[in-house]
Structure formats: structure tokens, C-alpha cells
Structure 1
């Protein structure tokens, strides 16, 4: 029997027992063929690799992630993550769909890559409803029906509209869920349910959703798993306390490790492999961590052709020199080497060709200082205002009340240690502008602006001086999207994302370098968070607890009620066309 390759004397990860056994492994036609502890004298290989006690594990599978979070395109992303042992991903491209609708999603899906990219149906475009946020595209029942015909579609992407899912049977998201259950009854339905417990959790799961990838806490983790929820651990949920729950209860079958979002600068250093290593440091045995990044995600998504080293499975695998350090000697995709230690990324000369209009998609008026003067009708010297307070860990926010002076009909928000948070509709649909206040988000004078504003991706600007806000917003429009940081009248950080205001086709090293400068500039302004960029970009995500901002205003994300900037009994906001 002729085979393509034999790998001799390698410590093979046995999925069934979650242990390593020294074996010989043969590969034929891109798949594992015969695997045995005995010599393979009856096989004739084209290539022999003497592993010399290296370890072999299946290629890593990321079952929930967003390529757009890395701010790059599928072709470049593929090259960037193969070196980290990631051979299969399930991408939920709802960012692309929020900007360009079904057309944008189809443009994204047609990319040819070495990495196997499967897709989720974006279930929440917009994340709530068009009455609560303005997006460039909408994924409704007709679009879902079209996507269900696509073989690359393997699941329904994270369903996020809690109120619509749990308590509104006729809501669009419930209709989408019901359509998926009818057309693809065994397809996984992915969920997004942070801080939902008890009967509310039951109401959410009753719809048919069976997973959650949001921020997990040990006090609710066991409840969710026992309620039938498959847990997908993203970085911030990989804590010693959460891993202890998994280990003590032997919950390995009911969870996997994912990335969800990896920023372009973080992608310079790792991807799913880094989360695996973090889980081990947090107390998860290495064999279980491998199991939860290969087999359980494969089973969750119905991938019966990968996720373990066994005859007939795809020969996606990693050779490691050191299991504890988790250092790679080489990565193979379908039996072909796609990376070896020390090699530089060989980016393709031809990358995706997006429509020219995708680079001219940010359409809103340039701000002036006059636009930012907040006029108030009141007979009082000060008014009570609803103010957003961010946390330094995670992306949660809360609403506080502040007494803010009013002088000659102008709100003196700077005297109350506040900053303006502005969201401007950028699709040319309604010209909405919302103005909110934040409690001391930065300590130095400056501003931050982006079009990477979850998930509607309108223009979002935050700052504590009018001139810096205007400069940041004007420069953002000039580069047609991305991130801008301004300090004392100077641009200190810039990361252009010209494709839809969310993507770049620059090499990851260049893109990551630009984003590092943005991050450093945010830190220099005193913006504090474990992930400054994600924290800022989710200030506009109206499905993340507890208070977020869209172009319609400041919203309670659970009740979906909007808060006025000024308490009505204290005064009235006079700015025209401002929410």
C-alpha cells in the first residue's frame, strides 16, 4: 500500500482516553490512514518523518469567533492563525453583515483559504431591532432562508436579543430560530446570554438555543451546564474559579475553549493556542484542554471528519516539541505542512477583491465645536443627568446619576469630570446623532473615535475636550473608518480600516502595529481596562449589560428602554436632531 507519509515514534493524543501513546501514524490522500504501535512494513511512504518523541495533537478548532474582530480579511487571517495550530474555525461574520448585509456576508464567504472556514448565520443583524439601532444591512427571514442553502453554514450564530428570544414569540429573532429548526433541525443554535439565571435562563433556552460564550462566573456556570447549555470559554472566562468548576464536576464534555474576539495586535502573538495555555495555567489538565479545543468543538458543530487522530479523519495536526510549553515544531493541514517553527508568514500576492464602494462607506457630517454645545432649558443652576460608568474588567457598564451645573443654558459637563460619548449614524439613512455622558473614562485631555462600534458600526467618539473630539471625528471620516486617538490637539494613534470601516488588507504585522499604537495612546489618556479597545468598542453594543449607546440614545440593554440625558423634571435638551 502506497501512502503519502509516515510519522514514526510520535506521542499521539488519544481522544477516547485523553492521553498520549507512542505510535506510528500514516497519512493518505490528506487523511489519517493506519495508526499503530507496530512498524508499518507493509506501507510504502513518499515521506518519512522521525518524530523523535515529539507530541502529535489534532489541529485546533475554534467553534465560535469573528474574523472581523481581528480587523483583517479571511485570506490574511488564514495565514496568520495556521501558525498557531488553528486549522478549522466557525466564523460568525455578523460585523460584515451589519455593515453590508447579505451581500457583504457572501463576499466574505467566497474567500479561498488554506484554513477551513465554516460560517454561522448572523442571527442578530441588527443585534436588537431597527427601531433601537441603525445598521447598514439587515438579516431577516428571506436572507436566513438563502443562507440555510449554503453548505458552509453549520450553525445559527449567537442569538443576542434576550427580550425578543425569551418573551416575544413573534419577534424576528424567534422567527429566525423557528425557521432554522424547521429547515435544519439538528443544526446548533448558538446563544449570547450574559448574567441570565433561573427562570429567565429557562425562558431563553426554551427557544432552542443550547450554548453560551459570554462572560462566565463560577456561581452560575454549574447551573447553566446542568440546564443543558454548552459553554464556550472565551479569554476573560478562563479563570481558576471557572476551571475548578469544570474539573470538580468533570464537565469536560460540555464545554470548549474559543477565542470569540482576538484583536489584530494580539494576533501577532497567538490565537486559540494562547487560550488553551491560559486554561492549563488556570488549573485545567493539558489533556483536557486539548480535548476541549479539538474534539468537543468538533462534536458541537457536527464535524465528524476532524477533531481526533483516527483513520479516515482529516490529517490536520500539530507536532510539538514541548507539551508543557506548548511550542510547535510544525502544523499540517490535510496532510501538508503549512507552518514550521521560525518561518515567516508568506502572504499571498492576490487577496480578496471587494467592491470599490466598500471603501467609501462612512457617510456622516464632520462635527464642529458648535455641534457639541449641549443646550438645556431649565430654571435650575444644575440638572441631574444619566451617566455611563465603565468597568476596568470586562465590558459591563452601569448607569449612575450626576448633578451637573448649567450656565447660561449650557450644560457644564466638564466641571463634573465627565466626557461626551457621541454616536453618529454613518449609512446615510437618517442622520441620527446621540449624545451621552461618561463618568471619567479618561484622565488626560483627549478623544477616541472609531467605526468599529459593536455591532452597528456607526461612528462613535468619546472625549473630554470639544476640540479633540472634533479632530478625532474629522480624521476618522478622512480615513473612512478605523480608530483615531487624539491627545491635546495631536493625533497619537491611528489604525485605518478602510473596508467598511471594520477591515484592512494590510499584513497583520502592519495592522497589529497600528493597533498597538492605538492601544498605547488610549492607555496614555488614562483609559483603563483589561482590553481597552474591546471595552471602548462595546460601549455601543445594546445587548451587553447594562447601559450602552446607539445612534438612538442611551439604552437599558435588558429592558430596551432609553434613558434621557437629563432628568425630565430638571430640564429639557434643546439640541436639534439629538437623542
Structure 2
């Protein structure tokens, strides 16, 4: 695998041998460490680690033979040397920032390898957008591997995205130097039905000898699940129950357990290890989606590992699940995932293993962060104009665009309602009886039912689809709009007042995308995301501060959900049950069909 910061193993192997033999001095030696060995599952005290040309050359009891006049020597004083942490599945765009700014935020938290699926930008800009993020990823001082998006749009026939990815696009991407596999295959009914696009994309990936990412977002573990597994996906991060993890592992998949900003799926599934005794080497940790506030305030993969330890895993087991297990899954165990000779020298100095207190972060043998602060220089990465100005509304929206006409002659209407589930990606398919005023169906604060709208923003059609959502708890006149709307990334507007909804939508049209919150006729919070309407060009800390203001505005309007913004952003994700909204209408994901808003 190509790296811009570490030379290929075959080019430096003789130098590594010379260091191990004492013929050549190392560039760096860590002395007196406790070696967290994820291969043997043990902690080896009194270990010295020698690094040459960005790779480990020696791991043993005494590296004094590798110390020369110019060797940098770091005294570990009994601290742990831990492999750099790997995030097995994630979307940079969910952090609201670019790859560079994401790396800047997570490096101090010990993340040295990320496996990113840029299907958010792919839904807006197609293959050229993926290439932009691929190239930015290669410019980082840590490993940012890319999985080629597989499902753009995620569910053909149920939504229209801003672009489409074809099997030919996938085949082309497999020739790029930093592509490690196919991103999550979300069209699970398509795989089970042998859809030609899915079959072609998976075949192109397998022919290239790379990994096929999975996404089976259904509780049905019957024939449909078995058909999906038979189609080729090799992992899955959509499990929420212990039986989901068990089923994946028994079928030869890797169960990816995620802890993101709003997805808390580790605790239930890790019981497959702690209670049932399943082999932990077939489990992997990931984040999937983390927004900037979580990264800055709480952490990244260090947060996930601590959480897994808190659920009863031994520290070394949790670390394996965030290092070696990930590397092996993607066929990269000879490059990353452990502190062993020949691998890239990505490691952490940790003073408390159970608490994962990270004192220093190294990647390619270079010190990148110390005491929780980045010490390396990461130059800003500039995106071209072609990646901006992507929000095309086609007109100035008015309150009338958000009106929902009731069936003729009724005083109340029974409607389908998208029910948000706190800390989980799936929604509930609910119904509610709502009042009709002047022929229009109204949201109901007492029932907790707000209005939701999807505004087409890729082609400027002026199209608006309206529906209802519950679970946010908003009170008083308000509206929140976002052009981050997985996966097709139109604009989602949730509100209790049609005038406010129009204001919010038009404001995002003015700034080129992002998230905005209006209440009482005033703009309470705004996060500008001009890059594809998905990412900010600002520092992660700045975006996190703006996100804090957004969360506060939501709370002031009555929303008490944990990370409600993440819930908002998934309301159009038509590949996760049960009820969603798209530019085609209200979607019953359990049946994979568009349904009428009104229940007869």
C-alpha cells in the first residue's frame, strides 16, 4: 500500500536488518517500555523498541546496540507502548470538516489509521469528489485509507442523489494507490436479489483482491441475511443486538462494533465475547460517524476503546479490536496494527492502560502529538471551486412550500410519522392523528410531532417533500435545516412553523450549505459547510464551537436527545429501517417502497 510518509518495506528491509543486528544505528529508540503485544496477547515488561526509516526494526530486551550518536532516545520509564489505533469504518464528512482537519483533531487521541468511506461527497460530486478526498488522504502524516463508495445512490428507485457510482467507476478506483476496498454495501436487498450494479461492484473489488465492506441494516437474520452474506460483504457495522454480532461472526464476517456520536452499539454486542465467549479476534471497533464536538471534547478511537474496556473487555483485547484485528481484516497486517518489526512505526506511549492515558503519539516514527496536543504541522488543504456552490434550490422557498394539504372534508388526519430512536440509527414507523386547519395538516407539540421536509438541492428543481417526525421534543416556532442528509444529501428541514422552515432553507442556499437553526424569527446557530454542502474549511475547534451553539439552540427549543443533530442528519437514510423521507416521498424501508403519508 502506497504511503507518502513511509518507504515501502522492500526498499528499507536491509536497513531494518542492520539495525536489529547492531550494524547501523536506529533513528529512534524507546527504552524501558511495557510492550503491548497484540499478536501474543500479553504485556512484555522491560522492552526496548528501535525504529529506522519510519518502521520498527527491533523489539526486544535491550536495544543498546542500535543506539548511535544521532539516535533519538526516549525513556519510557515503564510506560506502555501501544499500537496506533485504527478506526475500521468511518465517514470524515460526518465530522463536518476536511480530512486534514479531521486528522488534526484525532491524532492527539491516538488514531493513526483510518478507513474512510467518502460516500457522502460521492452522493454530491460523484467519482471526482471521491478522488479529491483520496488525494487529500494521501497527504496526511497518518494512514488514511479509502474505501470506494459502493451505493450511490444508496437505494436506486427510492431516491435521486447528486451523482451516481457505476461498476466501471468502482473498477477504475481499484487502480488508485490508496483504495483498500469497497465501502459499505448498503443496498442489501439488491445484493440478495443479485442486482447487476451490486454484483458488478463487488466483483470488481474481489478481482482487485480488496475488501468488501458490509451494511446489513435489518433485524431479519433469515434468508435475506444469508443471501446478503453469500453475495460477498465481509464485515458489518449495523448490528445493534448481541444476536447480530453472533450471526455475523458465525458467517465468517467481521462484526464491527461502533461507538459514534449518536450510535451506541458496543455494549449490547460485546456481550457475544464477554458472556458467550466468542473469539474476540473476529470483532473490530469503529466510530462510523463522529461530529466535531465529540472529537474535540470526548475523543475518537481512544473513547471507543475505553468504552469497550468499561463493558468488561480486557484492555489488551479492546486494543486488539482497534489495531491488529482491523489491519488483518483489510490485508494490512504486514504494514500496520502492531508494534513488531517491519511494520510502520505507529505507536502510542501510554501511562495508564485501563484508562488509556495517552502521553505521546508517533506515526512513521515521528512524534505527532504530546500531552494531548498536536505538535506536528498539518498544512491546510484547499478544495477547488468545483467542490463548492453545490446547493441549488432553484427558487426562493416560501412557507407555502411546506404546506401539507389534508384529504378533502376532514377535521383530522391520520399520518405516518418517522419516530426517532435515541442513540440508534433505526427509526420507528409510527402513526398520529393530527388536526387540520384551513385544509392543512398541522404538527402537534403536545404529541411531540414536528414537520419534516426534504428539499431537492442538487439540480435546482424546487421540489419539496413534506412529512412528520417525532422524538425531538421541540417547543415553540422553530426550524432546523441541514444539507448533511445521509445519504443523498438533499436538504432536510425539521420544524414546527412553516415560515421558520422557509427561512432556514433559504439561509443554507445563501451560504452554500451546512446546518442552521432558527427560532422566533432569529438565526440562533449556523455552521457553514461550503465544500459539497458537507464540510467546513475551518479548524475542527472552530466548527466544534459552532456545533456547541447549535446543540444549545436545540436544547433551548426543547430538544433533549443525545446528539440530536446526528439523528436529524439520518432522517433521509432510506437503507436503514423503518421509516424515512426522500425526494420520492415517505419510504417504508422494511418493505423498500414509497408509501402514502396518509393512513387510510
Q: Tell me the residue number matched to 1:427.
A: 458
CA displacement at 1:414 relative to structure 2: 4.2
Q: Tell me the residue number matched to 2:186.
A: 160
| Alpha-carbon distance in 2 for matches of 1:538, 1:39 | 52
Q: 1:347 to 1:428 in 2, by over 3 A?
A: farther
After superposition, the C-alpha distances for 1:433-467 in whole angstroms (9 at most, x for unaligned) are 21111236333121111001001111110101122
Q: Tell me the residue number matched to 1:404.
A: 434
Report 1:369-384 matches (<5 A).
Answer: 369-384=399-414
CA displacement at 1:430 relative to structure 2: 4.0
**May I ask how many residue pairs the two structures share in their alignment?**
563
CA displacement at 1:407 relative to structure 2: 4.3
Between 328-337 and 416-425, report the one with greater CA deviation: 416-425
Are residues 1:21 and 2:44 paired?
A: yes
Report 1:79-118 matches (<5 A).
Answer: 79-111=104-136, 112-118=139-145
| Alpha-carbon distance in 2 for matches of 1:508, 1:410 | 42
Contact 2:368/2:374 (<8 A) preserved: no
CA displacement at 1:178 relative to structure 2: 2.4
Q: Of the candidates 40, 44, 56, which is equivalent to residue 64 of structure 2?
A: 40
Q: Tell me the residue number matched to 2:500.
A: 468
Report 1:145-544 matches (<5 A).
Answer: 145-167=171-193, 169-181=194-206, 183-184=207-208, 186-194=209-217, 195-235=219-259, 236-248=263-275, 249-269=277-297, 270-303=299-332, 304-344=334-374, 348=378, 350-364=379-393, 365-414=395-444, 417=447, 418-428=449-459, 430-439=461-470, 441-445=472-476, 446-544=478-576
Contact 2:173/2:179 (<8 A) preserved: yes
| Alpha-carbon distance in 1 for matches of 2:436, 2:392 | 33
Contact 1:390/1:441 (<8 A) preserved: yes
Contact 1:240/1:283 (<8 A) preserved: no
| Alpha-carbon distance in 2 for matches of 1:464, 1:346 | 46
Q: Tell me the residue number matched to 2:35.
A: 12
Report 1:45-60 matches (<5 A).
Answer: 46-60=71-85
CA displacement at 1:342 relative to structure 2: 4.8
| Alpha-carbon distance in 1 for matches of 2:265, 2:410 | 49
Q: 1:110 to 1:473 in 2, by over 3 A?
A: same
| Alpha-carbon distance in 2 for matches of 1:414, 1:440 | 12
CA displacement at 1:177 relative to structure 2: 1.3
| Alpha-carbon distance in 2 for matches of 1:42, 1:443 | 64
CA displacement at 1:242 relative to structure 2: 2.5
CA displacement at 1:39 relative to structure 2: 5.2
CA displacement at 1:340 relative to structure 2: 1.0
Q: 1:67 to 1:342 in 2, by over 3 A?
A: closer
| Alpha-carbon distance in 2 for matches of 1:550, 1:35 | 54
Contact 2:367/2:376 (<8 A) preserved: no
Contact 2:104/2:374 (<8 A) preserved: no
SS of residue in 2 equivalent to 1:566: coil
CA displacement at 1:43 relative to structure 2: 4.5
Contact 1:210/1:228 (<8 A) preserved: yes
After superposition, the C-alpha distances for 1:461-502 in whole angstroms (9 at most, x for unaligned) are 010112221221122222211111112222212111111110
Q: 1:378 to 1:51 in 2, by over 3 A?
A: same
Q: 1:500 to 1:273 in 2, by over 3 A?
A: same
Q: Tell me the residue number matched to 1:572.
A: none
Q: 1:564 to 1:238 in 2, by over 3 A?
A: closer
| Alpha-carbon distance in 1 for matches of 2:353, 2:526 | 39
| Alpha-carbon distance in 2 for matches of 1:118, 1:413 | 45
Contact 1:543/1:558 (<8 A) preserved: no
SS of residue in 2 equivalent to 1:41: helix
Q: 1:357 to 1:305 in 2, by over 3 A?
A: closer
Q: 1:466 to 1:305 in 2, by over 3 A?
A: same
Unaligned ranges ≥5, structure 1: 570-579
SS of residue in 2 equivalent to 1:530: coil
After superposition, the C-alpha distances for 1:52-102 in whole angstroms (9 at most, x for unaligned) are 111101111112111111111112222221111111111100001111101
Contact 1:80/1:345 (<8 A) preserved: no
**TM-score computed with the length of structure 1 as normaliser:** 0.93
Unaligned ranges ≥5, structure 2: 1-23
Between 436-445 and 156-165, report the one with greater CA deviation: 436-445
Contact 2:258/2:286 (<8 A) preserved: yes
CA displacement at 1:260 relative to structure 2: 1.0
After superposition, the C-alpha distances for 1:310-344 in whole angstroms (9 at most, x for unaligned) are 11111111011222221112111111111111535
CA displacement at 1:157 relative to structure 2: 0.5
Contact 1:399/1:547 (<8 A) preserved: yes
SS of residue in 2 equivalent to 1:145: helix
